[in-house]
Amino acid sequence: MIPDRIENAEWLVRPAVQTIFAVLGGAEGQTRAVGGAVRDGLIGRTREHADIDMATELLPVSVMQKAKAAGIDAYPTGIEHGTVTLRLEDTTVEVTTLRQDVVTDGRHAQVQFGTDWVADAERRDFTLNALYCHADGTLFDPLKGVGDLVNGRVRFIGDAARRIAEDGLRVYRFFRFSASHGGEQFDPEGLDACRDAAEEIDHIARERVGAEMMRMLALPRVAQTLGVMDKLGLLCIEPGAAAALLRYETLGGQTATARLALMGREGLERRQGEWRLSKAIMTHADHIAEAAQLLRQGDIGWAAYRFGEDAVEGLAVAAAEEAWPREQLAEIARDLGRLPVAPLPVSGADLEAKGMKPGPDMGAALAIMERAWVESEFSLGKAALLERIFH
């Protein structure tokens, strides 16, 4: 059954959202919600801190004036493209004036404002993203995207090649939405257009590609999608990693950094350059990969001691890489979970108090005590550890 309104969406009945609707002429149809919140609200998907977007016939200056007059904070975050960010209480809404593209070059677009809702819908990427709703939840679906949404079809609006030419990032978005809303099934026309464009989109800012990929890697199911992208040359997955990625999903894993580790440590540095990933992301992926290596070797204590919570993700990665049976995974998980990991209870200051000077001998002594600490499963106290050195 094709829905014609949103029912029971928390964000829509929120008082702050209804106030913004009222201030911007929602009752008269001048302003409607659009995009992800509408799309996912229609199929009952709830996301914490979901973005709320609105489209309006009002010009940006008018949006700001009306908002400020009503006591709503307004920020011209993208006013040259028609976008104003409104904040009321703990709710943030991005409001964008209806527009249509005048000139596009695959990276930037010159737009003109208007009041044509169909033209605004036609400039978007996929039919399932061109859905609008009124303040009461009544749907406005000018391109018949609800049917595609309900049937799990990710379809470009109009000519797929033209949509990609307007913004090459839409290739990556096609695969992300096909994984998140299309059951990893690919619209034939869209897939053909992405294949044709694969070698012509290297001009896209790497940060934008990285952001799309990290969102994709955090989805519940994406292994099949990544395999298709690999065949198209949009990313490179090391031999054996495809099967490991699929096994990771069967274990219930859906952490982006763990998937980075599974795609191959040798390729991590390359991906950092290709996607401009942050140091924090790369460090996390490295820790997961190193923990997985220790667990594969049976060094459960060292994995727990060195990497703490990251060892849990490392366990899922190791199990996926080695195709461990569930019994083996459960046994190692129990061993990992029972270890009372704590910081080494001795330090260089303790050794200095015993008369040892800083230097190579102190470093060697600390290493001996650290190994004894881990091998005792973190049970030895300070006195017992110092006795290993000063016996």
pLDDT in tens, 156-200: 999 999 999 999 999 999 999 999 999 999 999 999 999 999 988
Q: Grade residue 114 by pLDDT with cuts at 50, 70 and 90.
A: confident
The mean per-residue pLDDT over the stretch 303-309 comes to 92
Res 360 pLDDT > 60: yes
- More confident site: 113 or 216: 216
Torsion of CA 330, 332, 337, 341, to 10 degrees: -170
1-151: CATH class = alpha beta
Q: Please list the residue range(s) of the chain that carry CATH number 3.30.460.10.
A: 1-151
| Total Cβ atoms within 10 A of residue 353 | 10
* Predicted local confidence at residue 50, as pLDDT: 79
Q: What's the CA gap between 51 and 381, in Å, rounded?
A: 51
The mean per-residue pLDDT over the stretch 326-345 comes to 89
Per-position DSSP letters for 308-348, written without gaps between them: TTHHHHHHHHHHHHHT--HHHHHHHHHHHHH------S--H
188, exposed or middle or buried, with CB in 10 Å at 0-12, 13-18, 19+? exposed
Q: What's the CA gap between 83 and 111, in Å, rounded?
A: 12
Computed over every residue of the chain, the mean pLDDT equals 92
pTM of the model: 0.88
Maximum average pLDDT range among 177-186, 255-264, 300-309, 332-341: 177-186
Q: Grade residue 98 by pLDDT with cuts at 50, 70 and 90.
A: very high
* Predicted local confidence at residue 105, as pLDDT: 53
Strands 91-97 and 52-56: parallel
